[in-house]
């Protein structure tokens, strides 16, 4: 029996643009994703003496269906891909067993902190952590490119978490460019009690013409993000009107508290605020921790947000 403990951090979409629909029916995205210090903790135990089987337990949140947990999907895709690879590559460790479908039992214990239906990638981060543990345990059978493709087949946000930090993510999320880190920016995050349906948000976006996307301006902005002569927050805020989330307006229509949270956060001295992903979490950036901490107290004591979760965090 081998046991591994790993941290699965949340992410924010610092901005998110929808570029259209790909031939496979998925949406083409253009987004800078940022890892933050809010995190789940995962313990993965491999029982080689037991054949097959999968057990998962969630601690801290009871709104996750174990049968639909992305960690289960990550395990299934990893083993399926490894069995396929073993059938054509005898150098894969224990290839004979994999070809016979003799998989070891996997037990996962998730201590959940990242809220569900928030746009913060909790399930995707957990899945990526599971893939990384299995990749290490079974002797790194997949190349980086193969693991990346395996990850996107689990979920669109999963490949980002194989890299972390600050990344430009395109296409379905698997086309990733690592950027100079935007670490250390103080954050405040408000998660309304109601979540947002990602498919409904995309259907709403598809019902209207896509907003303009100026490729040259975005390319210039991405170059400026890599200019480390300026502080992370200063580099990011140079994006100005480019820093939009195309999924924000349909999410606000479904969950008006998103707009209320954004307005309240900006009123506390935040220099920037935006919804992440398809919501419903809203984040705000602050120039310093003192202003952020004061804002945290204001929001926590505001009756309008009594049903919301509020997190003080930072970029990493």
Residue with tokens 């990346």: 148
Q: What is the pLDDT of residue 56?
A: 92
Cα–Cα distances (Å) from 302 to 96, 240, 268, 299, 313, in that order, read 61, 29, 12, 5, 19
Residue with tokens 């480390």: 228
- Domain boundaries 2-178, corresponding CATH code: 3.30.230.10
Q: What is the pLDDT of residue 68?
A: 79
Q: How far apart are CA 204 and CA 110, in angstroms?
A: 33
Q: How confident is the model at residue 89 (pLDDT cuts 50, 70, 90)?
A: confident
Nearest residue to 165 via CA among 272, 14, 30: 14
> Annotated catalytic residue: which of 11, 112, 126, 191?
11
> Annotated catalytic residue: which of 40, 126, 157, 246?
157
Q: How far apart are CA 167 and CA 236, in angstroms?
A: 13
The CATH superfamily label for domain 186-314 reads GHMP kinase, C-terminal domain (3.30.70.890)
Q: Are strands 166-171 and 27-51 parallel, antiparallel or unpaired?
A: antiparallel
Per residue in 41-53, pLDDT (tens digit) is 999 999 987 777 8
Least confident of 44-58, 73-87, 205-219, 260-274: 44-58
Say yes or no: do domains 2-178 and 186-314 share a fold: no
What lies within 8 Å, CB to CB, of 168 at 6+ separation is 30, 31, 32, 176, 177, 179, 222
Q: Kindly compute the dihedral angle of the four CA atoms of residues 249, 255, 257, 262, in this order, to the nearest 10 degrees.
A: -20
- Burial (CB count within 10 angstroms: exposed 0-12, middle 13-18, buried 19+), residue 228: exposed
Q: Is 85 a catalytic residue?
A: no
Q: How far apart are CA 190 and CA 242, in angstroms?
A: 23
Boundaries of every domain in the chain: 2-178, 186-314
Q: Is 126 a catalytic residue?
A: no
Sequential DSSP letters for 114-133: SPTTSSS-HHHHHHHHHHHH
Q: How far apart are CA 87 and CA 91, in angstroms?
A: 10
Per residue in 163-196, pLDDT (tens digit) is 999 999 999 888 999 999 999 999 999 999 999 8
The pair of three-digit structure tokens given for residue 126, joined into one six-digit string: 């957990």
């Amino acid at each position: 029996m081998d046991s591994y403990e790993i941290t699965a951090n949340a992410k924010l979409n610092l901005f998110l643009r929808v570029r259209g629909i790909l031939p496979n029916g998925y949406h083409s995205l253009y987004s800078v994703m940022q890892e933050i210090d809010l995190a789940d903790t995962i313990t993965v135990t491999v029982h080689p003496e037991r054949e097959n089987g999968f057990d998962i337990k969630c601690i801290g949140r009871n709104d996750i269906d174990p049968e639909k947990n992305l960690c289960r999907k990550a395990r299934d895709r990893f083993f399926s891909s490894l069995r396929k690879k073993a059938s054509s590559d005898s150098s894969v460790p224990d290839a004979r067993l994999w070809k016979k479908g003799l998989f070891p039992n996997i037990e996962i214990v998730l201590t959940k902190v990242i809220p569900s239906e928030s746009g913060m990638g909790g399930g995707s981060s957990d899945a990526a952590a599971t893939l990384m543990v299995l990749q290490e345990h079974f002797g790194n059978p997949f190349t980086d490119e193969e693991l990346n493709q395996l990850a996107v087949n689990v979920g669109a946000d999963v490949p980002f978490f194989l890299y972390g930090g600050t990344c430009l993510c395109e296409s379905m999320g698997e086309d990733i460019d690592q950027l100079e880190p935007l670490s250390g920016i103080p954050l405040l995050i408000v998660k309304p009690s109601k979540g947002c349906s990602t498919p409904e948000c995309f259907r709403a976006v598809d019902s209207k013409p896509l907003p303009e996307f100026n490729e040259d301006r975005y390319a210039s902005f991405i170059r400026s993000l890599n200019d480390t002569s300026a502080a992370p927050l200063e580099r990011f805020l140079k994006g100005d009107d480019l820093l939009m989330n195309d999924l924000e307006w349909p999410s606000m229509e479904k969950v008006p508290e998103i707009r209320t949270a954004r307005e309240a956060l900006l009123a506390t001295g935040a220099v920037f605020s935006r919804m992440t992903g398809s919501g419903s979490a809203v984040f705000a950036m602050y120039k310093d921790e003192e202003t952020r901490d004061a804002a945290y107290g204001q929001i926590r004591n505001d009756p309008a947000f009594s049903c919301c979760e509020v997190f003080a965090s930072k970029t990493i």
